[in-house]
Amino acid sequence: MLAIIASCRKPYLPAAISSPGSYLVVEGVINSGADSTIIRLSRTVALSGKTTSAAELNAQVAVVSSNNVTYPLADMGNGQYASGPLNLDQTRQYRLMITTASGNRYASDFEAVKNTPPIDSVGYTIQSDGINIYANTHDPNNATRYYRYDYDETWQFRSKYSSNFVTNGKKIVVRTQAQIINNCFGNDRSNTILLASSAKLTQDVIYQTPVTQVPSTSEKIETKYSILVKQYALTEDAYNFWQNLKKNTEQLGGLFDAQPSNINGNIHCISNPAEPVIGYISVCNVQTKRIFVTNQQLPQGWVPTYPYACEEDSALYCHFVICQNDVALFLIPKGSTEIPVDSIPGGFLASSRECTDCTIRGVVKQPSFWK
> What type of residue is 148?
R
Burial letters for 280-295: b for 16+ Cβ neighbours within 10 Å, e otherwise?
bbbbbbbbebeeebee
The count of domains in the chain is 1
Whether 355 is covered by a domain: the verdict is: no
Closest among 217, 203, 199, 221 to 124, alpha carbons compared: 221
Q: Is 240 helix (H, G, I), strand (E, B) or coil?
A: helix
Closest among 92, 77, 91 to 38, alpha carbons compared: 77
Quote the percentage of the chain above a pLDDT of 70: 89
The rounded distance, in Å, linking the Cα atoms of 206 and 120 is 10
pLDDT in tens, the chain (371 residues): 555 555 556 554 555 445 556 899 999 999 999 999 999 999 998 765 566 679 999 999 999 999 999 999 999 999 999 999 999 999 999 999 999 999 999 999 999 999 999 999 999 999 999 999 999 999 999 999 999 999 999 999 999 999 999 999 999 999 999 999 999 999 999 999 999 999 999 999 999 999 999 999 999 999 999 999 999 999 999 999 999 999 988 865 444 445 455 678 999 999 999 999 999 999 999 999 999 999 999 999 999 999 999 999 999 999 877 899 999 999 999 989 999 999 999 999 999 999 999 999 999 999 999 99
The rounded distance, in Å, linking the Cα atoms of 251 and 264 is 18
CB 152 within 8 A of CB 286: no
Closest among 78, 28, 24 to 284, alpha carbons compared: 28
CA distances from 185 to 21, 36, 133, 152, 289 (A): 39, 24, 20, 13, 20
Whether 270 is covered by a domain: the verdict is: yes
Whether 47 is covered by a domain: the verdict is: yes
Whether 250 is covered by a domain: the verdict is: yes
Question: Domain containing 84: what range?
Answer: 15-113+236-281
> What type of residue is 237?
D
Tabulate helix, strand, coil % of the chain (nearest 5). Answer: 15, 40, 45
Closest among 191, 208, 190 to 153, alpha carbons compared: 190
**At a CB cut-off of 8 Å and minimum separation 6, what does 98 contact?**
24, 26, 41, 59, 60, 61, 105, 106, 107
The rounded distance, in Å, linking the Cα atoms of 235 and 241 is 10
The rounded distance, in Å, linking the Cα atoms of 308 and 161 is 12
Whether 199 is covered by a domain: the verdict is: no
**At a CB cut-off of 8 Å and minimum separation 6, what does 28 contact?**
37, 38, 39, 40, 281
Whether 158 is covered by a domain: the verdict is: no
Whether 23 is covered by a domain: the verdict is: yes
Closest among 65, 98, 37, 110 to 277, alpha carbons compared: 98
Query: Residue 52's pLDDT is what?
Result: 64
The rounded distance, in Å, linking the Cα atoms of 33 and 39 is 15
Whether 249 is covered by a domain: the verdict is: yes
